[in-house]
Structure 1
Amino acid sequence: MLGPFGAGVVSSMLPELSGSYGVSADTAASSLTAYLLPFALVMLFSGTLGERWGQVRTIRAAYAGYVLVALLAALAPWFWLFLAARGLQGVANAFTTPLLLSKLAQITPAHRLGRALGTYGAMQSIGQTSAPLVGGLAAERSWQWAFLGIAAVAAVLTLIPLPPDERAAGGEPARLRDAWRPAVLWSGLIIFLAWACLAGLPFLVAFRLDDLFALSPAARGLALTGFGIAGFLTAPLVGVLADRFGAKAAVCAGLALGAVAVGTIGLSGPLPVVVVAWAVGGVCGQLVLVGTNSLVLRGSGGRGGAISVVTALRFLGMSASPAAFTSLYRHDPALGFLVPAAVLVLTAPVAVLRPRSQDLA
C-alpha cells in the first residue's frame, strides 16, 4: 500500500507545493515523474540485487531509507531538494515492491497464489485511491504532514517480521541476466502494452469527461476513482478466478474486456456509461495484473529479479501513455480511445503464445 500511496500523495497538493516553493503548477507536477521514473528504471535490476544481498536485509534497508527521504521531503527548503527526495523515495520503493511479491510467492501454496496476489492488488488499490484524499486533507493544514505520516508508517514497516530468505539453488548468487529470460520479457511486453493502453489512460478519460460533460475538477476526480475502487472491490475475486481458470485466461479476459471498456469511452454516450466503463477497466486491470504476476511468480528461481523486470515495464508502459495518445486524442477524440482498444485486442492472442521455460512455466 505504501508504494502507490507515496507516489500519488502529491497529486492533490500541487497548488500548495507551487505556492510553497514559488514554482509553476507544471513544475510542481514534475514531483510525480520524479518519483515514478527512478522507481521504474531502478526496478529493472533491483529485484536481482535484493536477492543477491538478501531479501529481508534489503527490504528493511529500503524501508529505513524511505523514512529518511520522506523526512527530507517534508523539511526540504528548496524545490530541487524536494524533487531529489521524491526520486530517492522511488528508488527505495523499487527495492520493496518486487521483493515483497517474491516473499508472497515463497510463503503461498501454488494453488492459492492468485488469491494472495488479488489481496496484494487490493492493498495497492487502496494506496492509489486514498493517496489524493489523504494528501489533500493534509494540505488543508500543511502538506508536510503527509510526508511525516509516510515516514512514520515506513518506520513501523521496518520493524515488522518477515519470512526468512530462501537459499539459492546450488548456493549461486542471483545474476542480472537470469531475470531477462524470454518468458519474463514476454510477460513484461504484455503488461507494458496493457498499462499503456488501459491503466495509463486516466488523463485521457479526464479530457473526455471535460470535453463531453464539462465536469468540474472535483467531479472528474470522483469519476476517475471508479477505476481504483472497482479494482479494490474485485481483486480477491479476480485472484480466485485466476487460480480456478488459469493465469493466462485471466490475462486474456482482462485484455479483451478492457478493450471493450476503453472503446466504449471513446464512442461517448451518457455520463453513467462512461463512468461505468472506466470502472470496468479497473476490474480488467486487476485481471491482467494478477494473471501476469501469477505467471511470473510460479517459477522456482530468480523470482525477485523476474517480477522486478516485469513491474518496471508495467510502470514504463504507464509513463509512455501520455506521449503515445495525447496528440492522437487532440486529432480525433474517438481514435484516442479506439487505437489503445485495438492494441489491447491484438495483445490478447499474443498473451496466449507466451513462451515456456524451465523456470517459469
Structure 2
Amino acid sequence: MSKNTPEEGGSTQRPLRLRLQLIALYAGGFLGPFGGGVVASILPEIGDDLGVGPSAAASSLTAYLLPFAALMLVSGTLGTRWGKVRTVRIAYGVYVFASLACFLAPTLEIFLAARVLQGSANAFTTPLLLASLAAATPQARLGRALGAFGAFQAAGQSSAPLIGGLAAEFDWRLAFLVIAVVAGILGAVGLPKSEAPAATTPARLRDALRPEVLRIGIAALLGWGALGGLSFLLAFRFEDEFGLSPTVRGLLLTVFGVAGILSARRIGILIDRIGARSSVMIGALGGAVLVSVVGLAGLVPVIAIAWFVAGVASQFVLVGVNAAVLGSAGPNRGGAVSVVQAMRFGGAALAPLALTPIYDSSHAASFLIPAVLLAVVAPLIMPKQR
C-alpha cells in the first residue's frame, strides 16, 4: 500500500468538510433574519395561546431586535478576541436553548425572555459569519461571496412570515422547534478555520470605531433605514389611500425581499469590478428615486414595481457597505463589520420613531425626506476607495 494513501484520504475529507462549513456559513446568514421575523405573521396565534392580545405579542419583535442591534456594537470585537469559531459555536448553542425555551414557553414573560436571548445570541453570529466569509474568500471574489450571503439574508427575511404562517396551521411553536434543530446542526458543523496568523494584540473596540468604519456605518444606516426600513410606511399608505387587505399588503411588501434574493449575488459579482463605493452610490441615488415614486405614485402596480426595484437598490447599498468594511486594511475587521451591521439595524429601528409623526402630517414628506437624505448623505459620507 502506498504511504501516501492516508494522506490522500485526508485531503479528500478536508475539502468536503470545508464545503460543508461554507454551506453552514451561508445558512447562518439565512437563520439570523429568519429567526427575527418568524413571529411577524403569527402574532394573533401567539397571543391567543399565551393569553394576551396581539399588541402584547408584537413586543416579541422588539425583544429580539433591541438586544440584537445593541450587542452587535461590541460582539464582533469580543468574538474576535475570544476566537470566531468558538464564539459562533457557543452562540449557536445559546440560540438552540433560547429557541427551545420559545417552543416550551407557558407565559408571555418567559417567551419574551427567550426572544431576548435569541436576539443576543444572533448578535454574536451575524458579524462573525461575515468576517469568517471574508477571511475564507480571495479579495478579488469578496463581492461575489458577500452578494451570495446577502441573498441568503434576503431569503431568510422574506420567507420568515410565510414559514411561520405555515407552521401556525398546525402549531406556531413548531417554527421554533425547527429553528432549534437548524441552529444545532450549524453549530455542530462549525466555521472554516482561518489560516491567517493570530493577532499579536487583542482586538479592541476603538479599532473598530475608527472614522472610516463609522462613515460606512452611516451609509448603512441610511441605506437600510431609508429603503427596507420604510416597509411600515408603505403598509400605512396601502391601507390609508388604497384600502388594501392585510394579505394583499403583505404580498406587495414581500416583493422587496424577493428582489434581494434574485439580485444580491449578481450585484456582488459587479462590485468585484466597479468597487464598493460605486455600488453604494448607485444604490443610494437609484433608491432615492424609487422611494420618491413609492411615496408619490397613484397606481398600485406602479408602486409595486418601484418597490421591487428598490429591493435591488438596497442590495447595492448593503452588499456595498459590507464589501467596503471587510475590504478595508484596518485592524479588527470582525469588530468593524459588527459596528456597521449594528448601525444598519439601528436605522431600521429608528425609522418608525422618526417618520411616523411626519407621515401623520404629510404622507409625501415622510417618503421624500428619507429619499433626499439617502441621495445626498450616503454618497458623500462613503470613504474613497484606496
TM-score range, shorter chain: over 0.9
Q: Does 1:149 align with 2:178?
A: yes
Partner amino acid for 1:208?
A: R
- Give the equivalent residue in structure 2 for 1:303: 333
Pick closer, same or farther for the CA change 1:170–1:123 going to 2, 3 Å: closer
**Whole-Å Cα distance in 2 between the matches of residues 157 and 122 of structure 1?**
18
- Map Cα deviations across residues 246-299 of structure 1 (whole Å, 9 max, x no partner): 110000000000001100011122111100111111111100011100010013
Q: Which of 288, 303, 324 is 1:274 aligned to?
A: 303
CA contact (8 A) 1:231 1:283 kept: yes
The 5 Å alignment of 1:3-42 reads 3-42=32-71
CA RMSD of aligned residues (A): 1.3
- Give the equivalent residue in structure 1 for 2:354: 324
More displaced 10-residue stretch of structure 1: 6-15 or 195-204: 195-204
**Whole-Å Cα distance in 2 between the matches of residues 351 and 292 of structure 1?**
11
Partner amino acid for 1:331?
A: S
**Whole-Å Cα distance in 2 between the matches of residues 33 and 39 of structure 1?**
10
- Give the equivalent residue in structure 1 for 2:322: 293
**Whole-Å Cα distance in 1 between the matches of residues 300 and 77 of structure 2?**
46
Q: CA deviation at 1:350?
A: 1.4
Q: Does 1:88 align with 2:114?
A: no
Work out which of the two has the higher radius of gyration on C-alpha atoms and give 1 or 2: 2
CA contact (8 A) 2:220 2:317 kept: yes
- Give the equivalent residue in structure 2 for 1:111: 140
- Give the equivalent residue in structure 2 for 1:344: 374
CA contact (8 A) 1:251 1:351 kept: no
- Give the equivalent residue in structure 1 for 2:14: none
Q: Does 1:171 align with 2:200?
A: yes
**Whole-Å Cα distance in 2 between the matches of residues 297 and 170 of structure 1?**
17
- Map Cα deviations across residues 161-212 of structure 1 (whole Å, 9 max, x no partner): 4221455665211112111101111111111122221110110011111122
Q: CA deviation at 1:355?
A: 6.2
Pick closer, same or farther for the CA change 1:170–1:324 going to 2, 3 Å: closer
Q: CA deviation at 1:235?
A: 0.8
CA contact (8 A) 1:54 1:165 kept: no
- Map Cα deviations across residues 119-170 of structure 1 (whole Å, 9 max, x no partner): 0000011100110011001111111100000000001101114221455665
CA contact (8 A) 1:186 1:355 kept: no
- Give the equivalent residue in structure 2 for 1:245: 274
The 5 Å alignment of 1:176-215 reads 176-215=205-244
Partner amino acid for 2:341?
A: T
CA contact (8 A) 1:56 1:165 kept: no
**Whole-Å Cα distance in 1 between the matches of residues 145 and 282 of structure 2?**
19
Q: Which of 112, 129, 149 is 1:120 aligned to?
A: 149
More displaced 10-residue stretch of structure 1: 88-97 or 17-26: 17-26
Pick closer, same or farther for the CA change 1:275–1:198 going to 2, 3 Å: same
Partner amino acid for 1:291?
A: G
Partner amino acid for 2:381?
A: A
Q: What is the total number of aligned residue pairs between the two structures?
A: 356
5+ residue gaps, structure 2: 1-29
- Give the equivalent residue in structure 2 for 1:232: 261
Partner amino acid for 2:118?
A: Q
**Whole-Å Cα distance in 2 between the matches of residues 40 and 78 of structure 1?**
25
Pick closer, same or farther for the CA change 1:40–1:49 going to 2, 3 Å: same
The 4+ residue runs of structure 1 with deviation greater than 6 A are: none
More displaced 10-residue stretch of structure 1: 28-37 or 18-27: 18-27
Q: Which of 74, 88, 93 is 2:103 aligned to?
A: 74
TM-score normalised by the chain length of structure 2: 0.90
TM-score normalised by the chain length of structure 1: 0.96
Secondary structure of 1:12's counterpart equals: coil
**Whole-Å Cα distance in 1 between the matches of residues 325 and 336 of structure 2?**
7
Partner amino acid for 2:337?
A: I
Q: Does 1:102 align with 2:105?
A: no
**Whole-Å Cα distance in 2 between the matches of residues 166 and 172 of structure 1?**
17
Identity of aligned residues (%): 55
Partner amino acid for 2:376?
A: L
**Whole-Å Cα distance in 2 between the matches of residues 183 and 355 of structure 1?**
9
CA contact (8 A) 1:55 1:165 kept: no
Partner amino acid for 1:172?
A: T
Secondary structure of 1:164's counterpart equals: coil
Q: Does 1:49 align with 2:78?
A: yes
**Whole-Å Cα distance in 1 between the matches of residues 381 and 272 of structure 2?**
17
